[in-house]
C-alpha cells in the first residue's frame, strides 16, 4: 500500500515535470522556467545523497547538470519516460565528476591537504563555488555578447542583433555555441 502511494506520487511528479518540459520545448518559457526550478531541487537531493562526503561540490554539480540538460534538451523524445532521460544525464555527469576528481586527487597528496578538514559545511552548500557568470568572460565576444544581452539582460533576439550589429541567426548560434562552450569549460574539456 505504502509503495503504491509513493509510486503514484512519483508518477505525478514525472507527469507534471514532463508536461512543463514539453511545453518548454515548444517555446513556453514560463513552463520551462518552472521545469528547471523543480528539476534543480530533485537534482540537489539526488547529488546530496551521493556526495555526503563532499557537500560543497553538490551545487556545482547541480548547475553543471542543469546546463547539460538545457544544452541537450533536443535529445528528449516526448514518447520516452522523463525520469530515465534525466537520470541518465545526472548519472553521466556524476560519474564524469568523480573521474575528474580522481584525476585531480592523484596530483596532490591527499594526506597533506589540511583544508579538507574544514571544507565540509552545510551553510556553504547552498552556494556554488564556481561562478558560471564569471566563466562567461572566457568566451569569445560573438558568444559572450549574445548570452549577455539575451539570456542575462532579457533582450529579444532582434534587439540583441540591433545592439551588437550581428545578424539574428548569429545571435542564436552564438547563444547555442556559447552555452555548449561553457559546459565544456566546466567539464574540463577546454
Partner 1 sequence: MKTDDLVVMLATGAGIAPKHVAARRYTIALGWGMPISFALMLTTIGLLSDIKGALVLPGFWIKFGFVVSLAAVSLLATLRLSRPGADRKSLPVMLSLPVVILWGLAVVTLVQTDSELRIPLLMGQTWAECPGLIAMLSLPIFVATLWAIRGLAPTNLRLAGGSAGLFAGAAGASIYTLHCPEMDAPFIAVWYLSGILIPAIVGLVLGSRLLRW
Q: Please, which residue, 29 or 109, has the CB nearer to partner 1?
A: 29
Checking 162-169 for CB contacts under 8 A at 24+ apart, the result is: 166/142
Q: Please, which residue, 116 or 153, has the CB nearer to partner 1?
A: 153
Min dist. Cβ of residue 118 to partner 1 (A): 23
Q: Please, which residue, 68 or 108, has the CB nearer to partner 1?
A: 68
Minimal CA–CA distance to 113: which of 61, 63, 54, 64?
54
Contact 21, 82 (CB under 8 A): yes
Q: Please, which residue, 104 or 109, has the CB nearer to partner 1?
A: 104
Q: Please, which residue, 116 or 188, has the CB nearer to partner 1?
A: 188
Min dist. Cβ of residue 154 to partner 1 (A): 5
Alpha helices in 28-125 (DSSP H): 29-50, 55-71, 82-107, 116-119
Question: Residue 84's Cα: distance from chain center in Å?
Answer: 17
Contact 127, 59 (CB under 8 A): yes
Helix %, strand %, coil % of the chain (to 5) = 80, 0, 20
CA distance 10 to 4: 10
Q: Please, which residue, 91 or 101, has the CB nearer to partner 1?
A: 91
Min dist. Cβ of residue 158 to partner 1 (A): 11
Min dist. Cβ of residue 111 to partner 1 (A): 30
CA distance 162 to 84: 41
Min dist. Cβ of residue 62 to partner 1 (A): 6
Minimal CA–CA distance to 182: which of 135, 131, 140?
135
Binding site for partner 1 (CB under 8 A): 24-27, 29, 32-33, 36-37, 40, 44, 59, 62-63, 66-68, 70, 72-75, 77, 80-81, 83-89, 91-92, 96, 127-128, 131-134, 150-152, 154-157, 172, 175, 179, 183-184, 187, 189
Min dist. Cβ of residue 96 to partner 1 (A): 8
Amino acid at each position: 500500500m505504502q509503495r503504491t502511494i509513493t509510486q503514484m506520487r512519483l508518477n505525478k511528479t514525472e507527469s507534471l515535470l514532463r508536461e512543463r518540459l514539453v511545453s518548454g520545448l515548444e517555446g513556453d518559457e514560463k513552463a520551462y522556467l518552472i521545469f528547471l526550478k523543480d528539476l534543480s531541487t530533485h537534482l540537489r537531493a539526488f547529488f546530496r545523497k551521493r556526495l555526503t562526503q563532499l557537500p560543497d561540490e553538490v551545487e556545482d554539480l547541480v548547475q553543471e547538470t542543469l546546463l547539460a540538460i538545457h544544452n541537450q534538451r533536443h535529445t528528449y523524445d516526448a514518447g520516452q519516460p522523463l525520469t530515465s532521460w534525466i537520470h541518465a544525464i545526472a548519472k553521466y555527469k556524476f560519474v564524469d565528476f568523480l573521474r575528474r576528481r580522481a584525476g585531480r586527487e592523484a596530483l596532490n597528496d591527499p594526506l597533506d591537504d589540511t583544508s579538507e578538514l574544514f571544507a565540509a559545511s552545510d551553510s556553504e552548500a547552498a552556494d556554488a563555488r564556481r561562478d558560471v557568470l564569471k566563466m562567461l568572460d572566457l568566451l569569445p565576444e560573438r558568444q559572450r555578447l549574445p548570452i549577455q544581452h539575451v539570456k542575462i539582460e532579457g533582450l529579444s533576439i532582434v534587439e540583441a542583433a540591433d545592439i551588437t550589429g550581428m545578424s539574428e541567426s548569429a545571435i542564436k548560434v552564438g547563444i547555442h555555441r556559447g552555452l555548449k562552450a561553457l559546459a565544456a569549460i566546466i567539464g574540463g574539456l577546454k
